[in-house]
Structure 1
Amino acid sequence: MITLADRLKEIRKSNNLTQTELGKILGVGKTTISMYENGNSTPNDEIKLKLSEYFNVSVDFLLGKTNIKNHDYKETTIALHSDVDYKDLPQEAKDEIYNFIDYVKQKYKDKK
Structure 2
Amino acid sequence: MSIGRNIKKYRKERKLTQKDLSKMANISRSYLADVENERYNPSLIVLNAIAESLNINTSQLLDGVDSKESPQFETPEEAMEFILKQPAIMGFGGFDINTMDDDQILDFANELLRQLKLISYKYKK
Identify whether the pair has TM-score above 0.5, normalized to the shorter chain.
Answer: yes
Coordinate RMSD, CA, aligned: 2.5
Note the residue ranges of structure 2 that are not aligned, 5 or more in a row: 74-125
1:15 alignment counterpart: 14
Note the residue ranges of structure 1 that are not aligned, 5 or more in a row: 70-74, 81-112
Higher helix share: 2
Structure-2 separation of matches of 1:78 and 1:36: 26
Higher relative contact order (CA 8 A, sep 6+): 2
Identity of aligned residues (%): 21
Which has the higher Rg, Structure 1 or Structure 2? 1
Given the superposition, is the C-alpha separation of residues 37 and 76 from structure 1 closer, same or farther in structure 2, using an over 3 Å criterion?
Answer: closer
Structure-2 separation of matches of 1:44 and 1:4: 11
Deviations 1:53-93 (A, max 9, x none): 222322122112x6224xxxxx369988xxxxxxxxxxxxx
Structure-1 separation of matches of 2:25 and 2:42: 10
1:68 alignment counterpart: 66
Given the superposition, is the C-alpha separation of residues 78 and 13 from structure 1 closer, same or farther in structure 2, using an over 3 Å criterion?
Answer: same
Count of paired positions: 73
Structure-1 separation of matches of 2:10 and 2:70: 23
